């Protein structure tokens, strides 16, 4: 799990702006999932990507989008930021589409003012 | 959809005592149940997991039990130490193809081990 990296570590944005978060999975892992963790709550599933295709989607608005690159890294984009988007955004890496174990990165702390 | 409930929300124990955290899930098709430990400001760390075809799994001081009939699973920590203090999350994987390997998390339990 130490191999999952995310950038940036922290980010402050204003309402209405757009943000892009980045994730690199553990070497050899082909699946990346994104989770949102609001303070005091458990992570909530946003997306899973495997082989550059979306394989699962949680209950998030269309303002949230993601993509995966040929090297299996991934970006999460959030448009028209709201105050409620302030959270820790976690990326999880796993070997395959239906692999059970998921290993989390350190997260990106997004603050929307 | 899948719903996971976790209890208690906070738990304080004396060093050396045991701690038990319980979770229930709603979707009988769920087939994978991990537990994560999250220290303040750090990433969730997978500490133990169990699959639906197993009733119990143990790893040193931690163990997980699963009751598929009742749809609940529990984390047991024995001989607790101050470094066990953290937030613990249970999770369940819905097990349906359209969800990929999505995990549904409980709300978390703050464990405090007093020395």
CA distances from B36 to A24, A109, B77, B97 (A): 21, 19, 13, 23
Q: Is A98 on the interface with B (CB under 8 A)?
A: yes
The residue of A100, A103, A107 whose CB has the most chain B CBs within 10 angstroms, and thus the best one to mutate to test that interface, is: A100
Contact A1 B91 (CB under 8 A): no
Q: Give the pairing of strands A108-112 and A10-13.
A: parallel
Q: Average pLDDT for residues B38-67, to the nearest whole number?
A: 94
Are residues B49 and B42 in contact, defined by beta-carbon separation less than 8 angstroms?
no
Tell me how close the Cα of A28 comes to any Cα of chain B, in angstroms: 17
Q: Which of B46, B99, B100 sits opposite A50 (nearest CB)?
A: B100
Identify the bridge partners of residue B90 per DSSP, sorted by sequence position: B35
Q: Is A58 on the interface with B (CB under 8 A)?
A: yes
Tell me how close the Cα of B32 comes to any Cα of chain A, in angstroms: 7
B41 versus B8: which is more confidently predicted? B8
pLDDT of B5: 97
Is it the case that residue B96 has pLDDT exceeding 70?
Answer: no
pLDDT of A1: 46
Q: Is A44 on the interface with B (CB under 8 A)?
A: yes
pLDDT (tens digit per residue) in A24-63: 999 999 999 999 999 999 999 999 999 899 988 999 999 9
Q: Average pLDDT for residues A71-91, to the nearest whole number?
A: 97
């Amino acid at each position: 799990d130490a191999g999952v990296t995310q950038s940036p570590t922290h980010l402050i944005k204003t309402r209405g702006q757009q943000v892009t978060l980045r994730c690199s999975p553990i070497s050899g892992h082909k699946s990346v999932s994104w989770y949102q963790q609001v303070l005091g709550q458990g992570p909530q599933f946003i997306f899973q990507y495997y082989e550059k295709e979306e394989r699962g989607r949680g209950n998030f608005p269309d303002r949230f989008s993601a993509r995966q690159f040929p090297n299996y890294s991934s970006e999460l984009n959030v448009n028209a930021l709201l105050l409620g988007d302030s959270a820790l955004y976690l990326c999880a890496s796993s070997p395959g589409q239906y692999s059970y174990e998921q290993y989390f990165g350190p997260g990106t702390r997004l603050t929307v003012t | 959809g899948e719903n996971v409930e976790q209890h208690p929300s906070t738990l304080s124990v004396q060093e050396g005592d045991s701690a038990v955290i319980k979770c229930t899930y709603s979707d009988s098709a769920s087939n994978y149940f991990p537990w994560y430990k999250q220290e303040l400001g750090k990433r969730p760390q997978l500490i133990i997991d169990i699959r639906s075809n197993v009733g119990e799994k143990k790893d040193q001081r931690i163990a997980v039990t699963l009751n598929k009939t009742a749809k609940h699973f529990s984390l047991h920590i024995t001989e607790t130490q101050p470094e066990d203090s953290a937030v613990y999350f249970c999770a369940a994987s819905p097990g349906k193809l359209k969800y990929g390997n999505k995990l549904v998390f409980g709300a978390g339990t703050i464990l405090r081990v007093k020395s």
